[in-house]
């Protein structure tokens, strides 16, 4: 069964610190993996997309990595800011049945 | 830049009542989607419309109907609301440039928070 699991469920860090969020998936074959940011009370917003052939992609202070062999992705946030407080959701596109498999997200709280 | 607009933002219904959630996008996107988001779970696709004039069932379609009114608008109807349909409902849209709809970024509205008593 195609699944996407994210860890940790929630994370609290101090402003200015770095953090890494994990995404493990069993989707195969897949065409791409995308990370979304969802602020409280808002809809998700796409942060970055990675195809199966890419290893690393950056978007400002956000860096996503992908290891297609181990079926793992991570989202690294550098020098966190209060505005980074949000849920971060990993989504994998399954080619076999044209589905998007959504993870449950990691809730990140940045404390001053 | 309105993007995707959903109405209403909040709604409380009694069991058995019906209602329609409205969604409109101004990005000239071909594809539109309805999701529900429940605590501790990933977004689940209810219905989608890959292009104007077509609709297809997603992962959890039971108890819902949709209408793609035109390219801009995609509505979701609950015919007889049940407490299990208490959730946050999101509408999204995406373009289809350069690939399948599953490869495109989706643009979301801010959701409708629906409680059914």
A28 touching B (Cβ < 8 Å): no
Q: d(Cα A104, Cα A106) in Å, to the nearest integer?
A: 7
Q: Which residues of B touch A (CB under 8 A)?
A: 4, 40-45, 59, 90, 92, 100-103, 105-111
Q: Does A102 touch chain B (CB under 8 A)?
A: yes
List CB contacts (< 8 A) between B41 and chain A. 104
Between these two residues, A6 and A2, which has the higher pLDDT value? Answer: A6
Contacting residues of B for A102, CB less than 8 Å apart: 42-44
What is the torsion angle, in degrees rounded to the nearest 10, for the CA atoms of residue B46, residue B37, residue B93 and residue A93?
-80
Percent of chain B clearing pLDDT 90 (strictly above): 81
Closest CA to B55 of B29, B24, B36, B76: B76
The pLDDT value recorded for residue A31 is 83
Query: CB under 8 Å to A83, separation ≥6 — which residues?
Result: A110
Mapped onto helix, strand or coil, the DSSP state of residue B43 is coil
DSSP tag of B99: S
Residues of A whose CB is below 8 A from B108: 42-45
Cα dihedral: A107, A33, A57, A66 (round 10): 90
Cα angle value B56/B62/B63 (rounded, 5°): 115
Give the nearest chain B residue to A105 (CA atoms).
B42
Dump the DSSP string for A4-20: EEEE-SEEEEETT--EE
B94 close to B63: Cβ distance less than 8 angstroms: no
User: Is residue A102 within 8 Å of A4, Cβ to Cβ?
Assistant: yes
Statement: residue B101 has pLDDT above 80: no
Q: pLDDT of A60-86, one tens digit each? A: 999 999 998 999 999 999 999 999 999
B40 pLDDT more than 70 = yes
Beta bridge partners of A48: A35
Q: What is the pLDDT of residues B61-75, one digit of tens each?
A: 999 999 999 999 999
Cis peptide before B2 (omega within 30 of 0): no
Give residue B1's pLDDT band: very low, low, confident or very high (50, 70, 90): low
How much is the average pLDDT of B77-102? Answer: 90
CB contact under 8 A, A44 and B106: yes
Provide the phi-psi class of B28: left if phi over 0, else alpha when psi is between -120 and 50, else beta.
left
**Chain B CB within 8 Å of residue A73 CB:** no
């Amino acid at each position: 069964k195609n699944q996407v699991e994210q860890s940790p469920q929630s994370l609290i860090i101090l402003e200015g610190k770095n953090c890494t969020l994990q995404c493990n998936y069993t989707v195969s074959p897949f065409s791409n993996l995308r990370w979304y940011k969802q602020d409280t009370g808002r809809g998700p917003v796409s942060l970055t997309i990675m195809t199966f052939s890419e290893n690393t992609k950056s978007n400002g202070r956000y860096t996503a990595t992908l290891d297609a062999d181990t079926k793992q992705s991570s989202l690294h946030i550098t020098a966190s800011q209060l505005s980074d407080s949000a849920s971060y959701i990993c989504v994998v596109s399954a080619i076999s049945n044209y589905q998007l498999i959504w993870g449950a997200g990691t809730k990140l709280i940045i404390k001053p | 830049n309105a993007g995707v607009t959903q109405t209403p933002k909040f709604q409380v219904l009694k069991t058995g009542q019906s209602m329609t959630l409205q969604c409109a996008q101004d990005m000239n996107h071909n594809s539109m989607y309805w999701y529900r988001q429940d605590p501790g779970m990933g977004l689940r696709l209810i219905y989608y419309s890959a292009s104007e004039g077509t609709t297809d069932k997603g992962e959890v379609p039971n108890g819902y109907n949709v209408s793609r009114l035109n390219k801009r608008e995609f509505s979701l109807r609950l015919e007889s609301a049940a407490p299990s349909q208490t959730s946050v409902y999101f509408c999204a849209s995406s373009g289809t440039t350069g690939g399948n709809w599953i490869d495109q970024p989706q643009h979301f509205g801010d959701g409708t928070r629906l409680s059914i008593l």
